[in-house]
Amino acid sequence: MATFKEFRNNVKPNWCPGCGDFSVQASIQRAAANVGLEPERLAVISGIGCSGRISGYINAYGLHGIHGRALPIAQGVKLANRELTVIASGGDGDGFAIGMGHTVHAIRRNLDITYIVMDNQIYGLTKGQTSPRSAEGFKTKSTPEGSIESTLSPLEIAMSAGATFVAQSFSSDLKQLTALIEAGLNHKGFSLINVFSPCVTFNKVNTYDWFKENIVNLDQFPDYDPSNRIAAMNKIMETNGMLTGLIYQNTVRKSYEDLVVGFEEQGLANQDIQMSQEQFDKLLTEFK
């Protein structure tokens, strides 16, 4: 069984020192090892942004896609080879702005993949503009007088779209984050894990200290029931989305793959797709 060191490669991340994404990378590597994966059984698909670089920093199959399109690619990979464990990753701009349409439909579709969003409430790669997660009044180069737009709540959207696994963590809490990624990888369906991952260069408001002061950790509530959908939505709204832990999980609903009639357990990539002349001729007759 692979150790977390075997999910490392020789590519040095070029994130800013102190970026929360370092912890997300380490948590993915540790979680992959803890659930018994091998590097060749894992695919990490990422979008554009600082966080999008993560697919090149993990020793596994990786693809650095285009802006907002990590999820369509990840779903295609999973459908082509359902034997692979697939992680999609990106930032809040990537997943909740240009990619939001894909995010909502991936959630309701419930393919067996894990989507990890590094949420820093700003566009970091393009040097500091508001994202859908920026608070009202947030001042950036693109909003010098303060943002007049309301903040998007990805957790509420995920719940209303029919998510079967919703979790949120903080990059400073490596133990909790690793455990949540493990749970997401083991969940049979779509897993959304939003991670507060501070941008130390361009976001001087939502800092590590700010998060520590404002986060409500569900681990402190032993009676909290993540299987209760109504309670989960209420908790999200009560805390204004500033909660961490396993928020909701539905283990009853089947994944997309399990609902497709005739979809074999063996990955399409490993199946014999040779077609006999008789099969070919039969297909041709359907078009005459």
Tens of pLDDT along 229-250? 999 999 999 999 999 999 999 9
Instruction: Give CA separation, 116 vs 10, 38, 170, 266, in Å.
Output: 23, 19, 12, 26
pLDDT-based confidence at residue 178 (cuts at 50, 70, 90): very high
Q: How far apart are CA 138 and CA 149, in angstroms?
A: 9
The answer on pLDDT for 189 being more than 90 is yes
How far, in whole angstroms, is CA 251 from its chain's centroid?
18
Domain ranges of the chain: 4-261
Question: Contact at 8 Å (CB) between 67 and 90?
Answer: no
Task: State the average pLDDT over residues 87-91.
Answer: 97
Q: Report pLDDT digits (tens) over 198-228.
A: 999 999 999 999 999 999 999 999 999 999 9
The answer on pLDDT for 288 being more than 80 is no
Longest dimension (CA), the chain: 70
pLDDT-based confidence at residue 267 (cuts at 50, 70, 90): confident
Question: Contact at 8 Å (CB) between 46 and 88?
Answer: yes
- Give the pair of three-digit tokens for residue 197: 């991952």
74 - beta bridge partners? none
Specify the CATH number for 4-261; select among 3.40.50.80, 3.40.50.1820, 3.40.50.970, 3.30.830.10.
Answer: 3.40.50.970
- Give the pair of three-digit tokens for residue 88: 């999609």
Per this entry, what is the length of the chain? 288
Task: State the average pLDDT over residues 139-163.
Answer: 95
Cα-trace Rg, the chain = 20
100-109 helix and 70-80 helix, angle to the nearest 10 degrees: 30
Q: Is 3 exposed, middle or buried (0-12, 13-18, 19+ CB in 10 A)?
A: exposed
Strand order in the sheet with 165-170: 61-64, 42-46, 85-91, 114-119, 191-196, 165-170, 243-249, 216-217
